[in-house]
Amino acid sequence: MSVDMRTYLAHVELANPITTAAGCAASGAELSQFFDLARLGAVVTRSITMAPRAGRPTPRMAETPSGMLNAVGLQGPGVEVFLEGELPRLVERGARAVVSIAGGSVAEYTALARRLADAPGVAAIEVNLSCPNVEDLGRVFARDPAASAEVIASVRATMRYDVPVVAKLAPDVADIVAVARACIDGGADALAMINTPLGMSIDVDTMRPALAAGTGGLSGPAIRPLAVRCLWQVHAALPGVPIVGMGGVMTGRDALELILAGACAVSVGTALFHDPYACLRILRELEDLLKERGFERLADAVGLAHRPPGAGPRHRIDLEESSL
Amino acid sequence: MSVDMRTYLAHVELANPITTAAGCAASGAELSQFFDLARLGAVVTRSITMAPRAGRPTPRMAETPSGMLNAVGLQGPGVEVFLEGELPRLVERGARAVVSIAGGSVAEYTALARRLADAPGVAAIEVNLSCPNVEDLGRVFARDPAASAEVIASVRATMRYDVPVVAKLAPDVADIVAVARACIDGGADALAMINTPLGMSIDVDTMRPALAAGTGGLSGPAIRPLAVRCLWQVHAALPGVPIVGMGGVMTGRDALELILAGACAVSVGTALFHDPYACLRILRELEDLLKERGFERLADAVGLAHRPPGAGPRHRIDLEESSL
Amino acid sequence: MQVTGTVLTTRRVDAYHALTVVAPGIAERFRPGHFVSVAIGGPHTSMPTRRAFSVHDVKPDYGGTVELVFAVRGRGTAWLAERKARDTLDLVGPLGRPFPVPRDPCACVLVGGEYGSASLFALADTLQQRGCRVDFVLGAASADRVFGALRARRMGETTTLTTEDGSLGLRGRVTDVLPAVIADARADVVYACGPMAMLRGVTAVGVEFDIPVQVSVEESMACGYGVCMTCVIPVIGEDGVTRMVRSCVEGPVFRGERVRFEDIGTIPFDALGAPGGRAQEGGAHTRNVS
Amino acid sequence: MQVTGTVLTTRRVDAYHALTVVAPGIAERFRPGHFVSVAIGGPHTSMPTRRAFSVHDVKPDYGGTVELVFAVRGRGTAWLAERKARDTLDLVGPLGRPFPVPRDPCACVLVGGEYGSASLFALADTLQQRGCRVDFVLGAASADRVFGALRARRMGETTTLTTEDGSLGLRGRVTDVLPAVIADARADVVYACGPMAMLRGVTAVGVEFDIPVQVSVEESMACGYGVCMTCVIPVIGEDGVTRMVRSCVEGPVFRGERVRFEDIGTIPFDALGAPGGRAQEGGAHTRNVS
Ligand SMILES: Cc1cc2nc3c(=O)[nH]c(=O)nc-3n(C[C@H](O)[C@H](O)[C@H](O)COP(=O)(O)OP(=O)(O)OC[C@H]3O[C@@H](n4cnc5c(N)ncnc54)[C@H](O)[C@@H]3O)c2cc1C
Ligand SMILES: Cc1cc2nc3c(=O)[nH]c(=O)nc-3n(C[C@H](O)[C@H](O)[C@H](O)COP(=O)(O)OP(=O)(O)OC[C@H]3O[C@@H](n4cnc5c(N)ncnc54)[C@H](O)[C@@H]3O)c2cc1C
Ligand SMILES: Cc1cc2nc3c(=O)[nH]c(=O)nc-3n(C[C@H](O)[C@H](O)[C@H](O)COP(=O)(O)O)c2cc1C
Ligand SMILES: Cc1cc2nc3c(=O)[nH]c(=O)nc-3n(C[C@H](O)[C@H](O)[C@H](O)COP(=O)(O)O)c2cc1C
Ligand code: FES
Ligand code: FES
């Protein structure tokens, strides 16, 4: 008997919980050489901006222990070219397209939402809040609950009512629950976490930063414990909210870890660079693990690690916020 | 010719930059079976509390990719026993003792400073700010610039003027520079970073959190990119402030990376669990690397990666705060 | 001490893997009950913590070898199971407090659960050299997981085997047969190594017979030599005060009656420094940092 | 395609390591200029990104083998240098846009710097099969780092070697001798693989002679198949517009004159979507996200 792998982003049904992570599958065309994109729960696009963007100078990537830093800088074609080419081709291929958007001001996010509002084939909008707010000295939206809420409220008001708005959060904040709550209060239908925390690496031979941009986003297995913690805290505080989990998922076990913490869908980023088939492999492994554990439905595993502990004294969870 | 490895925490000279990290060398007696503690720049003690503490239930540790989670919970004997036994024994052994303190309120930090003010052999005080503030719903001091500054100001006012006060910061804040600046304004003579960001791991077999405490502090190589980034940002903003760097240092190359980012001393934590001799090995490797690069003094390498780039166009550093 | 040893032989023993490693410095200092910790995954590993294993056997070959017996549990033991002869292995040891041995000849029952039996044979050797009588009780879930039955039969005055599924020896647990073995041997002391639940049961039997039980415990460890404070269990001291003590340096061998087995995985409210508890030592303040 | 290949042979070639790996699927699809990416460090590695290597040779043995030639640079290549015969290696390939080959016979100069020469021999083979004349110019810092001199001498109409320290061939750089070689051979096209600075110099020479130069570039890569956007360089398109293009899928082979070598490591102000620049395609808004 197979496991019912369906999951929901608000009212939108996905055939399974595995999606590509924003910015990790380019236009989708590259992956579609390897397999049928319709087999994924969804394809999350790169973050689309109004104008085309050339991104950051190279080197744009550096490897770190069990992780990598990137400073791609949202290189992309801009929303018009996206709407003319990338999006229709995803739809033609039968992919569920979740469109990620990025802006430098509330007005820009809103303008993007307006351009996307009538576009056919947008299953959901993911709002990448890890962008510097040009109206606030470049402070990143995701680090400020009020600014995040403002963006979400405006995008929500602009998008068609039947397209869920997903707020994508970053872990390098003092209180992820506060940001999550602000986004939900602002009208977000779901959350996605985690975006890459800001990291840096210095080449000890050249004695200069390894990335041309200096700092970059840290991704890969190294950050999975941060992702699990953010999912855990937010799911505990907002148990009804659908959350797309991501951060260092390389195997079905990793995906299950995020699901047990509270994710109802799981995005795969860095693993795709290692293995074009990563999403399908992870999906298969996840289904097997659920089967082994006797689950009939994926939905029954979501957040399961939060259930009141059994009799065993091993399992007293004490949720103090300090790491010591 | 050997490299001049001396470094300074404010006016306090350390023979070399390598120290143990707080909480990673128990009482010091364990390591002294392996080598002479006087060979270290300093021994940073576990975080001392007023009363004895039993810590958190077990399991207290879990391995993660290139890292580990711990939830020891500041197990320790309390300040009285520390002053009667551990501290005098460190001093007898010729170790430079940096005493780490932890409290649940400003009053408790202050009381600790008062107890330590007259104790002989305290080279410096490191204030562990990653503790929940019982007067603020358990919100961690280190996540709040004002609360951090208040603790530091009170400890600074209480300690003998000739004992430097080092503020130890955590990376899981929206703006590490703001916290650092608040601590310096509050009177801190130096900074230490990074403490462990809060992480979590779920055992997919038991389907429960791997740690009895649920969440724990993430340490080891996985977090080094976060440490480098925090050091870089704070050294750029406060170039005159001595900073003790730590986070995932396993080799001399790792130590050099932190030094190039701005650390004038480097603490070693998780590496000690793997290798009791880690500090001495790292010191030796670091000295060799400095020699190879033609340095005569460690001090000349501190923050060197910040120097204006050479002619090459590869090295344009653009310090936008987003990770994308 | 830290040693880079060369793997001499590898073999499967039923459900277990056995590795013999050339490690003269460790073999020389070894006493029964000691353990070693092993670095996992090579120089570019993503597994930074060492794994702890009891030493099963030491031999004088090649200046001194140690043998580890282990079950594959997670990623680290899976890696270890793939080692081949001539690979090198980074070991630290010998670690921990070994089994205390009686000064005078006496009757000893040695109880092993699963791979826990592995650490009992070197002990049996020492005890027999001192003129002690040794009886074995070995148990496991199933026949393939009972370790060392043959050797026990060769060495012990008697050997009693139990399996939960009845596939070898008596169906049941070691504690089902232990009282009879103690009575028959007129045992003076019991030594036990195995899962916590078994140690708890064996200790209870010892208390009933009013004879000491030395247990070797297993708690999750990050360092193995006393610096990380992750491996603690609640143990009652000579002064009657319960403290969270490190099983790597104050153990892994403890007097069974002193271990508060039922409270493992908690901080007992009356432990020294327990949250909200009285601070029995030092401390003008009793306010705990939450 | 992804292949788990078995290492057939390993050898040292002066400053380089060469690995032959059984990988039928890749060998079959290979065309000169293709590269492969290799997973590093085994299942529990701390190195999650693949490493890119040109394919030096393919042979039909065992259904098809590929040979990689590489220099030890960092942790990944150090690990690769330790592989032994019978180890397995996870390869993805063939990747990238191969060298375009002329329809009709013509005279080709092949220029290789350091291990860059490795990818030229398969190309030379193809060119010669099509009746092309092939001349080689190979250079490096020192004699031990010139790769393939013997084979070049065997295959090429002429072979000119340069080293910066004069330890082999002429003292100097490939660009010092290239004009004479082009003139003597009456070359119609130049192919080059090596460090960026060399490619830039070779392109300049080609421009001078007004003949096309095909360069194979090397930029830091995380994925190798077009999804991560880390490997971009500024390239001028047919329409005259500079774009940041992916060297893994649109390259690694480019027309040299199209590559803005002097701007590599920057975003040229006039590139499509450059910060503050005009947005030449689409975009009602020109406001960039910082
Ligand atoms: C003193 C002592 C002696 C031991 N002797 C043996 C023996 O002879 N044979 C044997 O098969 N096993 C023995 N163990 C248990 C063995 O250490 C664990 O099975 C092993 O660490 C699991 O590692 P893993 O990589 O397979 O699991 P993982 O789950 O990947 O381990 C992750 C981390 O948790 C730690 N850990 C997990 N389980 C345990 C555990 N039960 N005890 C200690 N640390 C743990 C690991 O050391 C590692 O740091 C002993 C443990 C201790 C403390
Ligand atoms: C298309 C192409 C073909 C190549 N062919 C060869 C070849 O035939 N022989 C050879 O010796 N080398 C070749 N290289 C360079 C080779 O990929 C790097 O030397 C290697 O990746 C360095 O890895 P490392 O682990 O030693 O260094 P590390 O510094 O540990 O590498 C860290 C990360 O940076 C990336 N990286 C670092 N330097 C480079 C680089 N120069 N190019 C691409 N990625 C890099 C690595 O892939 C890795 O992800 C080629 C590179 C490319 C892009
Ligand atoms: C090269 C790269 C590019 C990325 N681009 C984007 C992006 O455009 N928008 C976005 O929201 N997240 C972006 N991310 C973040 C990922 O979507 C994801 O949140 C993060 O990488 C963690 O997942 P992982 O560890 O599986 O990669 C990018 C990550 C990488 C590695
Ligand atoms: C087991 C353990 C216990 C720790 N205890 C303390 C502590 O008592 N006080 C403190 O300030 N930091 C404590 N830390 C944090 C370390 O001092 C250090 O900041 C962190 O581990 C990062 O360094 P590393 O990666 O080298 O371990 C502890 C870390 C670990 C792993
Ligand atoms: S394992 Fe570290 S103190 Fe026991
Ligand atoms: S290496 Fe990923 S796009 Fe080129």
DSSP string, D192-204: EES-HHHHHHHHH
pLDDT given at position B310: 59
Per-residue pLDDT reduced to its tens digit, C200-244: 999 999 999 999 999 999 999 999 999 999 999 999 999 999 999
Ligand 4 centroid–CA B110 distance in Å is: 22
Which residues fall within 8 angstroms of residue B205, CB to CB, at 6 or more apart? none
Ligand 2 centroid–CA B233 distance in Å is: 29
Confidence of residue A124 (pLDDT cuts 50, 70, 90): very high
Read off the tokens for D229. Answer: 């956007």
**CB A175 near ligand 2, within 6 Å:** no
Q: Are A301 and A253 in contact (CB under 8 A)?
A: no
**CB D259 near ligand 6, within 6 Å:** no
**CB C77 near ligand 1, within 6 Å:** yes
Alpha-carbon distance values, C92 to A40, A322, C117 (Å): 47, 32, 22
User: Closest ligand 2 atom, CA of D118?
Assistant: 8
* Cβ–Cβ pairs < 8 A, chains A and C: 15
- Asked whether residue D286 carries a pLDDT value surpassing 50, the answer given is no
For residues B21 and B126, give the distance between their C-alpha atoms in angstroms, rounded to a whole number.
11
Q: Which residues of chain B have pLDDT under 70?
A: 309-324
pLDDT given at position B287: 98
**CB C118 near ligand 1, within 6 Å:** yes
- Residue A73, annotated as binding a ligand: yes
CB contact under 8 A, A324 and B47: yes
Question: Any idea which ligand is nearest the CA of B24?
Answer: 4
For residues A258 and A260, give the distance between their C-alpha atoms in angstroms, rounded to a whole number.
5
* Of D46, D266, D290, Cβ closest to residue B316: D266
User: Closest ligand 2 atom, CA of D53?
Assistant: 5
Confidence of residue A310 (pLDDT cuts 50, 70, 90): low
- Asked whether residue D220 carries a pLDDT value surpassing 60, the answer given is yes
Overall average pLDDT of the C7-20 stretch:
94
Pick among D46, D217, D229, D247 to test the A interface (most A CBs inside 10 A): D229
Quick check: B322 contacting D, CB < 8 Å? yes
Please give the residue of chain C at the shortest CA–CA distance from A221: C46
Read off the tokens for B22. Answer: 């707080």
Per-residue pLDDT reduced to its tens digit, A127-136: 999 999 888 8
Confidence of residue C288 (pLDDT cuts 50, 70, 90): very low
Confidence of residue A324 (pLDDT cuts 50, 70, 90): low
pLDDT given at position C2: 87
For residues D282 and A201, give the distance between their C-alpha atoms in angstroms, rounded to a whole number.
36
3-state secondary structure of B273: helix
pLDDT given at position A30: 94
Overall average pLDDT of the A218-223 stretch:
98
Helix (DSSP H) and strand (DSSP E) numbers for chain D: 6, 16
Counting ligand 4 atoms within 8 A of each CB, the residue from B45, B128, B169, B195 with the most, and so the one to mutate, is: B195
Overall average pLDDT of the D125-131 stretch:
95
- Asked whether residue C280 carries a pLDDT value surpassing 50, the answer given is no
* pTM for this model (two decimals): 0.95
pLDDT given at position A314: 38
- Residue B260, annotated as binding a ligand: no
Overall average pLDDT of the D159-181 stretch:
95
CB contact under 8 A, D47 and C45: no
- Residue B217, annotated as binding a ligand: no
The residue type at A156: R
Distance from CA of A138 to the nearest CA of D (A): 8
CB contact under 8 A, A132 and B321: yes
For residues A88 and A90, give the distance between their C-alpha atoms in angstroms, rounded to a whole number.
5
ipTM: 0.94
Per-residue pLDDT reduced to its tens digit, C155-200: 999 999 999 999 999 999 999 999 999 999 999 999 999 999 999 9
Quick check: A8 contacting D, CB < 8 Å? no
**CB D252 near ligand 2, within 6 Å:** yes
Catalytic residue among B24, B131, B183, B230: B131
User: Closest ligand 2 atom, CA of A61?
Assistant: 34
* Of C46, C262, C266, Cβ closest to residue A316: C266
For residues A276 and C134, give the distance between their C-alpha atoms in angstroms, rounded to a whole number.
60
Burial class (CB in 10 A: 0-12, 13-18, 19+), D262: exposed
For residues D275 and A75, give the distance between their C-alpha atoms in angstroms, rounded to a whole number.
11
Nearest to D113 by CA among D136, D129, D92: D136
Count of other CB atoms within 10 angstroms of residue C237: 11
Per-residue pLDDT reduced to its tens digit, C33-60: 999 999 999 889 999 999 999 999 999 9
pLDDT given at position C282: 39
Burial class (CB in 10 A: 0-12, 13-18, 19+), D276: exposed
Please give the residue of chain C at the shortest CA–CA distance from A319: C290
Which residues fall within 8 angstroms of residue C129, CB to CB, at 6 or more apart? none
Confidence of residue A308 (pLDDT cuts 50, 70, 90): confident
- Asked whether residue A316 carries a pLDDT value surpassing 50, the answer given is no
* Of A52, A66, A75, Cβ closest to residue D281: A52
* Of B52, B60, B221, Cβ closest to residue C281: B52
pLDDT given at position B314: 38
Q: Are D51 and D80 in contact (CB under 8 A)?
A: yes
User: Closest ligand 4 atom, CA of C229?
Assistant: 1
